Amino acid sequence: MLSPDEILAVIEDGGFRSTASRRRLADVLTSHEEGFTAEELVAETPGVGRATVYRTIRLLVEQELLCKLSLPDGTPRYTLAQRGHHHHVVCQNCGSVREFRQSAMERMLKELESSDGDVVTGHRIEVFVVCAECLVRGVVPTNVHQH
């Protein structure tokens, strides 16, 4: 997993400053095993302003150190980035996040490229689950109709 120092290194390599707030956030960030919300970060870094938390999140998403994803209803969650291209498996109940890779799927999406006059610039794939932990706690999986 990513360490606070690695996060700070990417920030500095990007030409941004290594500040007290960013160090605090890097620490809190790396302590999260699962997905988290922006407001959780705000609550966990007292003294660091809301605006700074959101600014730092935006910076880290741009630097591809954080992934922004969303639950079926659209509420946002963040998770520390994994190495390389990947997608997310999100528990719709507790919001925990795992990753998956499937290169066959990537290839398929690339084939769309020529379908129309459009230029493909990216894609988003999220798989929704009820995770094993939620299942043992008695959560009943109900299908979500997403596209």
Partner DNA sequence: AGCATAATCGATACTTAGTATCATTTGATG
Partner DNA sequence: CATCAAATGATACTAAGTATCGATTATGCT
Q: Which range, of 11-19, 22-30, 43-51, 100-108, touches a second copy by CB under 8 A?
A: 100-108
Per-residue b or e along 73-84, where b marks 16 or more CB atoms closer than 10 Å to that residue's CB: eeeebbbbbbee
Select from a second copy, DNA, none the partner in contact with residue 88, using the beta carbon and a kind-dependent cut-off of 5 to 8 Å: a second copy
In terms of Cα–Cα distance, which of 126, 140, 138 is closest to 97? 126
Q: Are 21 and 11 in contact (CB under 8 A)?
A: no
Select from a second copy, DNA, none the partner in contact with residue 39, using the beta carbon and a kind-dependent cut-off of 5 to 8 Å: DNA
Amino acid at the residue 54 = Y
Q: Is 87 helix (H, G, I), strand (E, B) or coil?
A: strand
User: Which of 10, 42, 89, 94 lies at the binding interface for a second copy (CB under 8 A)?
Assistant: 89
User: Which of 13, 46, 64, 83 lies at the binding interface for a second copy (CB under 8 A)?
Assistant: 64
Footprint of DNA on this chain (CB under 7 A)?
Answer: 12, 16-22, 37-39, 47-52, 54-56, 58, 68, 74-76
